[in-house]
Amino acid sequence: MPELPEAETIVRGLRPAVIGQRIRRVEVLHEDVLREPKAAFARKLHDALVVAVGRRAKNVLLRLEDRRVLAVNLGMTGRLLPFSGAPDGAARPGHPAVRFRFESGGVLIFDDTRRFGTVECLTDAEWRERSERMGPEPLARSYTASRLHADLARSRAPVRSWLLDQRRIAGIGNIYANEALYLAGVHPRRPARSVTADEAARLHRSIRRVLRGAIRAGGTTIRDYRTAEGGVGEYVRRLLVYGRDAEPCARCGDLVRRLVFGNRSAFYCPTCQPYGARSPRPADGRSTSERAASGPSAGAKGAMRGRGGRA
DNA sequence: AGTGTATCCTGCAGGC
DNA sequence: TGCCTGCAGGATACAC
């Protein structure tokens, strides 16, 4: 999906288009992105005024009157596309799921090819309960390296799986987890609690650096993600390991490898991210799930189709 | 507590 | 050309 930087980019682009707009009508074209019957959902939103737009983790939040929240989780392929009136040719909705029609004549479309995304209208209390179940925001001032280290110490999960767990840290997905681990020199399969204080400090820095850099670049477009203005995310050109199976590491020239665990691909450089000081990779990792460096995966190559060159 | 697997869904690339 | 397989930025639920 859209991870934290993509959600943040959408939020920034959406603000001028939707703040101050009053929803006149809601049209649900695919009910499976809702968590309640469409009639009830549409009734809640009738005549609601959008007062602010924000983000929590990977969720885009349209704040309404009465402290209610329209919470949008973009899933893998969700997009929020505002149109002021006449359709311009930027990013045409190919799979509209929900259309919000404003009093002004403008329209906001939640478009989602795979429909893994969700759109919910929550009360202040419902939203707060939801938010409390999510981990800390990695870009918050209060999120320190020592906090990260202390939290990592409580889990035996592989550190890449740990970073993807929204209850532990919010907003990180597979792309930025892999990039941050690469920059920190930490093998993705290392048990979270084996990460030392020094490594946690490096990881803390690299997480922030990657997320901030991606926000500045407008996110990462592999295929479906678009900014609210319909543009692509340029961070795709700065990716150092994600999707680069069998390509040379930018730092040492060794070949980037792909591992599969936790049902997701992990990309790493075996030289820059040794599993341990003594054994360069998990003792049993190679025979089970590690792919030969000479066999780039069809899926990873396919996912990276059409992107630009290395930065 | 973790892992592997399956589920929701569509589109696309690669192999044959 | 077509058919089949596997993969994809996410989240969750299940059995082991």
pLDDT for A282-296, tens place per residue? 333 333 333 333 333
pLDDT at residue A87, rounded to an integer: 56
Closest CA to A160 of A205, A136, A190: A190
Question: Among residues A44, A55, A56, A58, which one is catalytic?
Answer: A58
pLDDT at A238: 97
- DSSP strands (E only) in A69-205: 69-73, 78-83, 96-102, 107-112, 118-122
Residues A98/A21, Cβ–Cβ less than 8 Å: no
Cα A60 to Cα A44: distance, rounded to the nearest angstrom: 18
pLDDT, one tens digit per residue, over A118-134 is: 999 999 999 999 999 99
Poorest-pLDDT segment among A12-21, A28-37, A97-106, A271-280: A271-280
Contact A162, A192 (CB under 8 A): yes
Give the whole-angstrom CA distance, residue A51 versus residue A145: 34
Mean pLDDT, chain A, rounded, equals 89
- Dump pLDDT digits (tens) for A45-104: 999 999 999 999 999 999 999 999 999 999 999 999 999 876 565 678 999 999 999 999
What DSSP element (H or E) covers A202? helix A197-216
Check residue A1 and give its pLDDT: 64
If you search the block for the tokens 């030289």, which residue do you land on?
A: A271
Q: Is the CB of A114 under 7 A from strand C?
A: yes
As a whole-number percent, the residues of chain A with pLDDT over 90 amount to 85
Which tokens hold the place of A215?
């926000």
Q: Which residue ranges have CB below 7 A from strand B?
A: A 32, 94-95, 113-116, 155-158, 161, 192, 223, 261-263, 298, 301-302, 305
Tens digit of pLDDT for each residue in A63-77?
A: 999 999 999 999 999
pLDDT in tens, A170-202: 999 999 999 999 999 999 999 999 999 999 999
Q: Integer distance in angstroms from CA A75 to C1' C11?
A: 8
What is the model's pLDDT at position A19? Answer: 98
Q: Dump strand ranges (E) for chain A.
A: 23-28, 50-56, 59-64, 69-73, 78-83, 96-102, 107-112, 118-122, 257-261, 264-268
A108, A82 Cβ separation under 8 angstroms: yes
Question: Rounded to an integer, what distance in angstroms lies between the CA atom of residue A190 and that of residue A295?
Answer: 24
